[in-house]
Amino acid sequence: MAIDGLIILDANGRPIIQSGYTSFPPAYPLLHIDALNNELAKAPSSGIIDPIIYVASGGGGDMPDGSACCHIQVREMRMLASISGDLDPLVAFAFLQAFHDILQDYFGTVSTVTLKGNFDTVYQLIEEILDSSGHPLTTSPSILRDIVIPPSLLSTLLASLPASAPSVGRSGGPTSLNNTGGAFASPIPWRKVGVRHNSNEILFDVTEEMRAIVGRNGATLASNVIGTIECNSRLSGMPDLLASFSNPNVMAECAFHPCVRLQRWKREQTLSFIPPDGKFVLGEYQYAPPQKVVVNNLPIPVALKPNIIIGELGGSFTVTFTSRMMKAMENVKIEWYLGEDATGAQCTLSGAGSGVGSTGGAEGSWTFDSRKKILRWEIPSMHSSGSRVLRGSWTSKAQVPRPAHAFQIRFELPSYSFSSLKIDHVRLSSETYKMYKGVRMQSCGSIEWRW
């Protein structure tokens, strides 16, 4: 049960950062890098390869003879975790994600430049989050910040002071050798003791995403709504919170942050927790509609009417997009893959003459991505129920063009919630100060529409 090591590769497949691999021969990480690069070289243009690559080695010595390389893509880079023995690859992926989040927290953007520029910090971080026998340790950013100082102007100043000087600014600052850093004195691993904020506030950000597949006859084949509750907590001390919902029944299949007392949720359907400091995901749920019948068959708030004629060396199309929402819809993006052989497209936009709803706002715009062969249609905002039409044609090198039989539709619905979930109240016990709390709802959709 262990992660052998971590490597970050740049866009050219060369390692920039590599963790210890102290228990392994030097050839071992190289084998993994080669394995990944080989797969990438063999991959089709899409660059999609299996996320777990088996790495066989000749065995011998300390070399594990059956290991696997789990990797994720971060911008132009690849982060890979080597695992051998009987480890859950999900641990590796969850860990890579956590590692990425930490780097983001420390450096803002995670890129080749920031990593190279701060390699000493990255190494200190790796030391703290992954022990040499491969056990993930602390991955909570707020606690790590006490052990490894983020590179900032302040820390540069602090570092230039001699160790004997009293530490300035940060309480429990690690620069001082005489400090008994309280990082792990806390009884709970996700929150340190002694957090202080001048103004105490907690913000809840609820985002619901509808995912659906609509068949060619317009019938919904599969659909569900997944909600995520993100929190930004800036509360002092050890705040014990109790959040209750006016309609908890709309939340099904919940998954929570470790801080949530699960038994309590099971019993009372209230969220009782001591939050970590800063941003975190409190929980996720699936929207369970009140009538059991419509499970997996929620009404889709948009409609698409494609009319496509495929000819030789191209084709023509008329696509009508309709919003069925009474609310404003924003950032509508419709994508259509025209096939590997597509060479170009020409379109006109119109506001559909149905008369219902306004044609106000931009008509939208279209582009053809000649590298990815994707036709993109974007409508920045649509007011109430209205329609837009995209007419045009495309050309292709192939005698019989093979465009994708599905459109990908994305849209955003600000201050809307599919489930109408409502946070009733949030109570604070164990601390005496007054806190400010805020809740924001928003929704979005990602629909595959086949024709």
Partner 1 sequence: MSSQHGQDAKFFQRGKIEEFRAELQAAESKDKKYQKRKTVLKKIVANITMGNDMSPLFHDVIQCIGTPLLEIKKMVYLYLVSYGRSKPDQIHMVIPSFLQDCNDRNPLIRALAIRTMAYIPIPVVTEALSDQLRHCLKDRDPYVRKTAAICVAKLYVADPRKAEKAGFVEMLRDMLLDSNATVVANAVAALSEIGDRQDGVIFRLNLTVANKLIASLGESSEWGQIYILDSLLRFVPEEHSEAEMMGERIIVQLQHANSAVVLTAIKVLLYLMNYMENRRLIEYICKKMGPPLVALLSSGPEVQYVTLRNILLIIQRRPAVLKNDVKVFFCKYNDPIYVKLAKLEIMYRLAREENAQEVLAELEEYASEVDIDFVRKSVRSIGRLAIKVEAAADNCIQSLLTLIETKVTYVVQEAVIVIKDIFRRYPGKYEGIIPTLCENLDVLDEPESKAAMIWILGQFANRIDNADELLDDLVYSFLDEPTEVQLALLTATVKLFIYKSTSDATKALVHKVLKWATENVDNPDLRDRGFMYWRMLAVNPTLAQELVLAQKPAITTDSDRMDRGALDQLLLHTGTLGSIYHKNPETFIRNAAGRALVDTPALNPSSRAVILPLSRPHLPPTTVTVQGPGPIEPTYVPPAEPSKLVASATSEASGQDLLDVDNAIARPGSYDGEIDVDGEDEVPVKTGDPYANLDGAFGGYLADKPQPMSSSRGGNTNFDDLLL
Binding mask 94-113 for partner 1 (x = CB under 8 A): x--x---------------x
Task: Name residue 54's amino acid.
Answer: Y
Nearer to partner 1, 317 or 337 (CB): 337
162 binds partner 1 per the rule CB under 8 A = yes
Query: Of the candidates 197, 333, 391, 450, which one interacts with partner 1 according to CB under 8 A?
Result: 450
Nearer to partner 1, 187 or 353 (CB): 187
353 binds partner 1 per the rule CB under 8 A = no
Of 119-127, 197-205, 348-356, 380-388: span binding partner 1 (CB under 8 A): 119-127
263 binds partner 1 per the rule CB under 8 A = yes
Of 187-195, 309-317, 375-383, 387-395: span binding partner 1 (CB under 8 A): 187-195
How many Å apart are CA 353 and CA 379, to the nearest integer? Answer: 17
CB of 135 to partner 1, least distance (A): 5
Task: Kindly determine how many residues on this chain lie close enough to bind partner 1 according to the rule CB under 8 A.
Answer: 110
Give me 111's structure tokens. 């890129």
Give me 315's structure tokens. 């084709």
Identify residues 394-433 at the interface with partner 1 (CB under 8 A).
402, 404-406, 408
161 binds partner 1 per the rule CB under 8 A = yes
Of 239-247, 261-269, 345-353, 359-367: span binding partner 1 (CB under 8 A): 261-269
Looking up tokens 């989050």 gives 129
Q: Is there a contact between 325 and 385 (Cβ–Cβ < 8 Å)?
A: yes
Pairing of strands 270-273, 240-245: antiparallel
Give me 53's structure tokens. 């690559």
The H or E element that residue 40 is part of is: helix 27-42
CB of 258 to partner 1, least distance (A): 6
Query: Of the candidates 189, 361, 380, 414, which one interacts with partner 1 according to CB under 8 A?
Result: 189
Identify residues 429-448 at the interface with partner 1 (CB under 8 A).
448
Q: Which residues of 23-49 are buried (b: 16+ CB within 10 A; e: fewer)?
A: ebeeebbebbbebbeeebeeeeeeeeb
CB of 12 to partner 1, least distance (A): 15
123 binds partner 1 per the rule CB under 8 A = yes
H-state helical runs in 83-166:
89-107, 112-117, 119-129, 141-147, 153-160
187 binds partner 1 per the rule CB under 8 A = yes
Query: Of the candidates 64, 141, 239, 392, which one interacts with partner 1 according to CB under 8 A?
Result: 64
CB of 394 to partner 1, least distance (A): 15
How many Å apart are CA 447 and CA 237, to the nearest integer? Answer: 44
Query: Of the candidates 10, 13, 20, 39, which one interacts with partner 1 according to CB under 8 A?
Result: 20
Query: Among 250, 263, 21, which Cα is nearest to 126's?
Result: 21
Nearer to partner 1, 226 or 349 (CB): 226
Nearer to partner 1, 175 or 442 (CB): 175
Q: Is there a contact between 236 and 195 (Cβ–Cβ < 8 Å)?
A: yes
367 binds partner 1 per the rule CB under 8 A = no
Alpha carbon separation from 338 to 86, 316, 369, 370 (Å, rounded): 43, 11, 10, 10
Query: Of the candidates 76, 168, 184, 420, which one interacts with partner 1 according to CB under 8 A?
Result: 184
In sequence order, the 6+-apart residues with CB closer than 8 A to the CB of 300 are 210, 212, 214, 220, 223, 324, 445, 447
Nearer to partner 1, 283 or 392 (CB): 283
Q: Is the dihedral of CA 175, 235, 110, 31 positive or negative?
A: positive
CB of 297 to partner 1, least distance (A): 9
How many Å apart are CA 150 and CA 438, to the nearest integer? Answer: 29
Of 150-158, 197-205, 230-238, 418-426: span binding partner 1 (CB under 8 A): 150-158
Of 88-96, 233-241, 303-311, 376-384: span binding partner 1 (CB under 8 A): 88-96
50 binds partner 1 per the rule CB under 8 A = yes
116 binds partner 1 per the rule CB under 8 A = yes
CB of 313 to partner 1, least distance (A): 17
Q: Would you tell me the crossing angle of helices 89-107 and 119-129 to the nearest 10 degrees?
A: 140
In sequence order, the 6+-apart residues with CB closer than 8 A to the CB of 269 are 244, 245, 248, 249
Query: Of the candidates 253, 268, 312, 424, which one interacts with partner 1 according to CB under 8 A?
Result: 253
The H or E element that residue 37 is part of is: helix 27-42
How many Å apart are CA 38 and CA 260, to the nearest integer? Answer: 43
240 binds partner 1 per the rule CB under 8 A = no
Classify residue 250 by its DSSP letter. Answer: G
Nearer to partner 1, 161 or 356 (CB): 161
